[in-house]
A and B are shown apart, each in its own frame.
Chain A
């Protein structure tokens, strides 16, 4: 009996100490990890979408609480006016969620561009949503107000051949994001002004 108690105590104490240590390390590195992900995963997509902005969108960012989710917005300053934001949205792809960075002009509601950030699509097929610049480029100039569909469904987007589900996922993700874009738009304009120079 004493052996059993000893085992339980030793294992329990070890697990507790390890749990506490991991909590401490996790807390200590959280902000640094967030910054690294921003720089290496979302950064390239944001920079490309807000190309030509006079500020650094990775620094000029803000958060808005939308119901239960917290959304990040990255501000692009063009001609001294903070009139563009980029944000991340998700669509259901072939191999899981596809993360899509969407850039919108706040004055005209036109898309500045989209870029895939994270995905687990088939290499060589669905992965072209990220790697083939011409796929993302066709979204440029379209209005966020109208639903995004592939041409086969009566829309304007040329689907990636061999990757229909991926193309659907990207379109659905962008279309979905229009909903929270519309409700948050007044706040977006107000918050973005703070970054105008």
Chain B
């Protein structure tokens, strides 16, 4: 399941999506808003996406992970909107037969979501707002 959403991310729901009796391993990455950014203290982050293209790119990355590691199930959900410190912005979940594939696929997917998917974040503090530096799409 691939999704861009403005709703709270539920780890419980994602665990249910990943259930597969043939999978002996399940790897999950959770990205949270932290209280420090490149510009100093952060109180919240604004996330914005080109949702249609973002979901297409995430499906492309999913297919690559499927080809490389033969994973069983995958969930990649990115939240958009204004998120406060401690809130979850992204969850990547992968189930596979053995742990190696689950670890590697999870790492591959989060690294590629960060560099290839049209999503942007702006760090907001009490005194300033700054769009994060990022990666120009290729």
A binds B: no
Interface on B for A, CB 8 Å cutoff? none
